[in-house]
Each structure stands twice: as C-alpha cells, then as structure tokens.
Structure 1
Amino acid sequence: MTGAPAREDLVRRATEAGPVLRRNAAWAEDNRRLHEETIEALAEAGVFRLRTPRRYGGHEADTRTLVEVAAELGRADGAAAWTASVYWIPTWMAAHFPEAVQDEVFATPDVRICGTLSPTAMAVRAEGGIVVNGKWGFVSGAHHSHWQEIVAVVIGQDSEPEPVMALVPMSDLTVIDDWHTSGLRGTGSVSTVAQDLFVPAERVMPLGAILQGQHADGANAGSPIYRSPLLPVAAASSVGTVLGLAKAAREVFFERLPDRKITYTGYASQSAAPLTHLQVAEATFKIDQAEFHAHRLASTVDGKDAESASWTIEERVRARADMGAVCRLGKEAVDILATASGGSSIYSDVPIQRITRDVHAVNQHALMHPNTNAELYGRILCGLEPDTLYI
C-alpha cells in the first residue's frame, strides 16, 4: 500500500473542490441537503477517507490536517465543511469497534457515517444484542450516509442504566425530514428513528469506552490518531469549519469593497472610510486569534497521540474551551464584516448573509457553545470537578 498523502496534498485537493462546493451552495441551502455533485467532489478529494484506517484505504490524517481541510471547505461552503467534519467523528469512532465490524463498515468505498452523542433512545438486552427504540435529532449528512452511530441507554431490571453506542445501517432507520432552520440548512441535519431495531452485540460498545478512546481490539492500537479520548478529538475535528466561514466572510467582503460606497455619507468609496479600516483590522485580528486556538487544539491532540500520553482533566476541558473560543471569535469576525457589508448584503445571492447564518448556527451547537465551554473551563480553573461526562 502506498503511503498516505501529505497534509499539503490533502489541503490542495480540498481547495480544488472549492468551485464545485461554491456552485452548489445555494442549491444545498434551498434543498436542505448537499448536492450529489458536492458529495462526489468531496469523495474525489479524499475527504471521506481522512479518518479511515489505512488498511481500508484511508489516510489516518492527524487533526491539524482536519482543521486545514475543513477551513478550505468552509471557505467555499460552510454546510459542506460541517457535514464532512461530522462524518470524520463517527468514522474515527467506528475504528474502535471489533475488527469484524470494521471489515463490514469500511467495505464500502468512501463510507459515510453520520451520528450523534445524544442518548435520546432506550434499549433492552436481547439474545445476541440489544433492541433499540428512539429518535435522534440534528443528524448532519444523514441523507448521504451509509451508517449511523447511535447512542441509547440500556435499561434492565437487575442493572443500572448503561449508555451505549452502536453502529447501524441507515437502511434500518427511518429518516424524518424535519430540517427547517435559519442556518447550516445545506447540512440536511434531519432526525432519524429506530423502531424495535435489533443491533447485534458486536456492533455495540459502552459509551464510556468511546469517550475514553478505548479499543475493542488491537487492530488500530498502533495508530497514533486513535489514542486520544473522544471529546478532544471531536473538538479538533469541528473547528475548521468556523475558521473557514470567517475567512470566507473576509474574502467576500473584500471582493465587494471596490464597488461600494457608504450610502447617505460623503464617502464615495467605502475603502476610504476610517471606520472600514477599523472594522477589517478588528475582524482580521479575531480570525488570527481563532486560528491560534484551532491550531493549539490540534497540536495538543496530535502531540498527545504521538506520545501516547495521558490527558489531565484540565487539558481535556481546555480542548473544549479552545473549540468554544474558535466559535466565538469566528462569529465575532463574521458579524463585524456583515455589519460593514451594508443593506445590499441581505440579498440571497450575496454569500455573506448565508455565512452569517451558518456561523450563528454553529455557535448554537450544545457542545460548541462558547459560553458553555468557557464556563466549564473556568470551573476547572477554580478547582471544581467537571459537571459533565463530555470532556
């Protein structure tokens, strides 16, 4: 097998996919899912194989690569970047299952696995597995997925409730087309439902094992990228989209700047106004700061992976704090540039209005919300225990 492509090559491929993503971004928003041509372009760029084990033709890319690839995709279409980054996380999780399960899942070229961490379903044990009933929301990319990673709580008469994670084919689930939102519309983050769904025991793992990065067998134990606990990995997998959206906002602002004046003022050119100078400088500084937090997060995860080092509670919480900082700073940068874009920017053919709505939607995500993550970090810095398992 040939070696995995270098980071620069994977980022270049993502950049080259950009024109297809831009061309289909408005269609994706109108139709509330990614265009098939976008899916094909992402597959051609190798995006869906970034976290797949090498023995199945994957790249086993580190999280710094994920940040840079998602940033390039986000410059073209935030929905495409978000969906790709969501696929990376369950794909990484699938690599923790027994090898026979991996053989089944990764038999599909460019396999796409959607998922959730919300335990919004219940399950009972049955001979040879579990039976699941429930519904999951915000399942990004479900329309184009082959498998879904689900979370359910197993209940029994003689045991404590146990949260588990399982892999199920999309054909076993019912898709509820309920994704009617103001932002990230193109992600198709619909709901899915399981009704009396039997899942074989080999495709079920304790959620705690995945949160801690424990393997069911040793097939991938030698690979650095599968060594860290889930939440720092998920955080590093997610921030590139926000970085890309912020950079896209700056790019589209400067594209429109030469032809814009400031209406009802004496400025025939917006670029001559000191206010504009202050706005673009402040937005650029915030993008730079967001990039710092994104890269520090990725460097921490990749460094821990390379050294097989254990994580302290503070380090794990700081990973979420870095993610929250990227979200906050990216949103603030976009808001500044959107405010400076004038009344004409609210037309649907001006990309910054979609960029603004997309970055606002990301900031509302329960695990990415800046306030939630900052509070959690401050709690740890004050010597208290974390009040969540999701670290």
Structure 2
Amino acid sequence: METVTMLSRTELLRRASELGPVLRSNAQASEQRRQLNAETLEALGGSGLLRMRVPRSHGGYESDMRTVSEVLAELARGDGSAAWTASVWMISSWMVGLFPESVRDEVFADPDVRISGILSPGAMAAPADGGYLVNGKWSFNTGAQQSTWNVNAAVRPTPDGQHEPVMVLMPMSDLKVIDDWHTSGMCASGSVTTVAENVFVPAERVLPIGPVIGGAHPGQQNPDAPMWRAPFMPIACATVGAAAYGLAVAARDAFMERLPGAKITYTDYTEQSAAPLTHLQLAQAEIAIAEAEFHLLRTADLIDTKASSGEQWSLEERARARLDLGAVCLRAKEAVDVLASASGGSSLYSSAPIQRIERDIKALNLHAIMHPDTNFELYGRLACGLPANTQYL
C-alpha cells in the first residue's frame, strides 16, 4: 500500500486550473463522442485529482470537502461533463472506502482507479453461497465505460421477509452495457445503462446502505479520518453541486471572452459593452453566481466543521444540504440563462461554449437529486413539522 501526504488546497486548485485549457479544447470532441476523450481522461488521471476521496492508506489524499468542491468547480469551468464525471468517480471512491480492507486493497491497488456508481436501487441481490447473485440494471451510470469498477445500489432480502438497500461492488467487466446515452445535455458524461445478469458478488463486496446514509460507517477502518465523519447525502450534495456552480462561472468566462468587439445587431450599439442592458445582465448573472457559491460552500464548510468537532448532524441540517444543492442548481441556471440570452445568435454555433454550458446546466437541474423544487419541498416539509418523504437525507 502507498501512503502519501495530503496535498494542499492551493496545490490541488493549481492542478485543476492547469487542466482548464485541456478540458475546454476537448469539450466539443468529448460531446460528439458521448464520453470523455482520451486526452481529457489522461489529463484527469495524470493530475492526481481523482485521488482526492481515496484513503491515504491506499495512495489517496483524503481532501476536505471545501477543497473537493472548489476543485470540481474549477474543472467545470473547462468542461461540465468532465467535472460531473469526476464528481461521480470521487463519490464512488469515498463509498468504496467504507468496504473491508481486503476490498479496498483490491480496488485501490491503483489509487487513480475510476469507479462509477448509482445510488438508486435497480437490482435484486439474492443470497448465494459466499455472497449474492445480482440481477438488474442501472440507468444514468456516469462514466461506466471508462471505469474499472461499478458500485451500485440493489436490495437484498432480510430475515423478516422485507428488503434492505445495499451497495454492490462489481468489476465493470461483469456488466453488460446498453449504449443508450443520446441526450441534449451532459453528453460527454457517458451515462449509459449497465445490466447485471446473474453476477456473483462476494459477501465482502456488499455494504448495507442505510447506515451510510445515516452517517454511521462501522466498516471504516480509521475512525479518526474526517473524510467519513458525515452522512452520505450532504457529501454528495457538496460534490455534485460543484459542477453546477462551476458551469455558471464557465458561462461568465465564455461571455466575457466574446464581449470585446461584440455589437448588438440592429441597434446603434457598436460595442455591446456600452449598452446599459449588458451592464444589467452582467450584474444579474454575478448575483446569481455569488448566491450559488454561497450555498455550495455553506454545505461544504459545515461538513468540514462537523468532521473536525465530531458533532452529530441534525435532521434540519441534513435537509438544508439538500436545500443548498437545489439553490446552487437554480441560481447557476439563472446565471447561465441570462448570459446565454445576452450572447446573441452567433452563440448557437456548436463551436460556442455557451450553448453547451446552457444545455449542461439544464440537464443537471433535471437530475432527481439536484432538482430545485424537489429539494425545496423537502426542506419546507420539515420546516412545517411534517416527516421527510425520503430516506435520502
């Protein structure tokens, strides 16, 4: 096993920033390919950033949540699909860190390993000698074809005749792929459907998910590691929300890059930057971007603060993490919509980054976990004294 020293936030952000030109230059090609192209994939792996949620005992950095959020947002400035895919790989690495040591030794033999994952139970795990036989399928399996392992949710029977959700860890080579990822947004994420047909999964590669969502991680071998001192959902919110916030910043980057010399056709404005309308649009976008950043980092900082103190999470705090995620997505989309509308007809060309950014942020706002109204309703229910209508808190 390889033990490394945690890299500083400054160093990790520097590496993410240096990836920006590579991600931007390959974004269109990745989109056409419907998964990350080879240069982007190699750059991500070579940067070491995928190690941020890998145990230190296995060559990882165990980076704090704020650093992870800021790094992923920086990647999204280059390519939203690349950042989204990296976020899924990081969440899945965190999840594998909860499996027994023998499993971690196998999976993290390469600390730059790519692990895809799905939280929604799409399969049945039937008891078999020494483990389980898994049958089912998982849609929206981001980065699966470019991953070595897949950690997906299933259900298994319990002695009382009920079923409980579990995570099952399988080599990608055990799964069939349905190449159905033909979409209008997040095209390069390669979020295909994977299928398990009588796949045997050893017992040590099956993890009850209830305690993980609740914030209890009995299988974690290092109880002092801050990275696992939080419920799963707040961690997921601060991870995937970073891609949405980063896309809003990317929209601002793209707009400002094209602004010099741009005019407003069929008006007397020979410089778009001279028009009061442009000033209002930029200010509106900036407010929305700042609000998205606030909500993203509020959750990230709370995760880090509680990890340091060991303080337990209240139900309201966990619901607020979902609230913050919804706010990040909503405000990011508002910023992108304003800037895309201000970009004019020339922005319709596929070579213009703003059109891809607009489609990507719309796609994220449709994600079941990220949908703003769903998250707002959940928080509002609890604020009104009603029970949560989901276990994903």
- Residues 128-165 of structure 1, C-alpha deviations (whole Å, 9 max, x = no match): 11111101000111111111111111237852112111
Moved more, 155-164 or 303-312: 155-164
Matches within 5 A, 1:246-257: 246-257=248-259
Maintained 8 Å contact 2:4/2:61:
no
Q: Secondary structure at the match of 2:127?
A: strand
Q: Which position in structure 1 is the counterpart of 2:302?
A: 300
Matches within 5 A, 1:37-116: 37-116=39-118
Residue 287 in 1 paired to residue 289 in 2?
A: yes
Structure 1 residues 23, 162: closer, same or farther in 2, change over 3 A?
Answer: same
Match among 169, 185, 192 for residue 183 of structure 1: 185
- Corresponding residue number in structure 2 for 1:321: 323
The structural deviation recorded for 1:176 is 1.1
Q: CA deviation at 1:179?
A: 0.3
Following the alignment from structure 2 to structure 1, what is the Cα–Cα distance between the partners of residues 110 and 85? 18
Superimposed CA distance per residue, residues 291-329 of structure 1 (whole angstroms, 9 cap, x where no aligned partner): 111110100111111111111100000001101100000
**1:108-147 correspondence to structure 2 within 5 Å:** 108-147=110-149
| C-alpha separation in 1, matches of 2:257 and 2:25 | 17
In 2 relative to 1, CA 270–218 (structure 1 residues): closer, same or farther, beyond 3 Å? closer
In the superposition, the TM-score normalised over structure 2's length comes to 0.97
One-letter amino acid of the counterpart of residue 236, structure 1: A
Q: Distance in 1 between matches of 2:379 and 2:78?
A: 32
2-side partners of 1:65 and 1:267: how far apart? 43
Local SS of the residue matching 1:258: coil
Corresponding position of 1:332: 334
* 2-structure distance, mates of 1:123, 1:155: 8
Look up the equivalent residue of 1:299 and give its one-letter code.
D
- The runs of at least 4 consecutive aligned structure 1 residues that moved more than 3 Å come to 155-158
Q: Which residue among 246, 250, 264 is the counterpart of 1:244?
A: 246
1:377: Cα distance to partner? 0.7
**Partner amino acid, structure 2, of 1:152:** A
Letter in 2 for 1:376: L
Change in 2 beyond 3 A, CA 1:216/1:128:
farther
| 2:383 aligned residue | 381
Higher mean displacement: 296-305 or 212-221: 212-221
* 1:143-154 alignment, distance < 5 Å: 143-154=145-156
Using the alignment, how far apart are the partners of 1:190 and 1:77 within structure 2? 19
Larger mean CA deviation between 204-213 and 306-315 belongs to 204-213
Partner of 2:370: 368
2:238–2:325 CA contact under 8 A, matched in 1: yes
Cα gap change, 1:218 to 1:260, in 2 (>3 Å): closer
Q: Which residue in the other structure is 1:165 paired with?
A: 167
Shift of 1:209: 2.0
> Structure 2 CA distance, aligned partners of 1:200 and 1:157?
19
Which of 193, 198, 206 does residue 196 from structure 1 map onto?
198
Cα drift, residue 218 of structure 1? 4.5
| 1:27-84, Cα deviation, whole Å (9 max, x unpaired) | 1100000012111111122111000000111000011011110111000000000000
Stretches of structure 2 lacking an aligned partner (at least 5 in a row) = none
Provide the residue aligned with 1:225 in structure 2.
Answer: 227
Distance across 1 between alignment mates of 2:14 and 2:297: 18
Contact 1:249–1:337 under 8 Å retained in 2: yes
Structure 2 counterpart of 1:258, from 257, 260, 274: 260
Cα distance, 1:207 vs. partner?
A: 1.5
Q: Which runs of 5+ in 1 are unaligned?
A: none
Given residue 118 of structure 2, which amino acid in structure 1 is its aligned partner?
T
Task: Check the 8 A contact 1:124/1:156 in 2, yes or no.
Answer: no
* Amino acid aligned to 2:16: A
CA distance 1:156–1:14, change in 2 (3 Å):
same
**Which of 12, 30, 33 is the matching residue for 1:31?**
33
TM-score (norm 1): 0.98
Whether the 8 Å contact between 2:4 and 2:56 is mirrored in structure 1 is no
- Asked if 2 retains the 8 angstrom alpha-carbon contact of 1:42 and 1:48, the reply is yes
Look up the equivalent residue of 1:166 and give its one-letter code: V
Other-structure match for 1:10 = 12
Equivalent pair of 1:98/1:216 in contact (CA under 8 Å) = no
The residue identity in structure 1 corresponding to 2:225 is S
What letter matches 1:364 in structure 2? L
CA distance in 2, matches of 1:182, 1:56: 38
8 Å contact kept, 1:70–1:240: yes
8 Å CA contact 1:67, 1:237 repeated in 2: yes
Structure 2 CA distance for aligned equivalents of residues 217 and 379 of structure 1: 33
Aligned residue for 2:233, secondary structure, equals helix
Which deviates the most, 362-371 or 34-43? 34-43
Aligned residue for 1:159, secondary structure, equals coil
Question: What is the match of residue 205 of structure 1?
Answer: 207
| Number of residue pairs matched by the alignment | 391
Aligned counterparts of 1:325 and 1:276: Cα–Cα separation in 2: 25
Q: 1:342 — aligned with what?
A: 344
Aligned partners of 1:272, 1:331: CA distance in 2, in Å? 25
* Rounded Cα–Cα distance in structure 2 between residues aligned with 1:43 and 1:100: 24
The sequence identity of aligned pairs, in percent, is 57
Q: Residue type matched to 2:63 in 1?
A: A
Q: Does structure 2 conserve the Cα–Cα contact (< 8 Å) formed by 1:125 and 1:156?
A: no
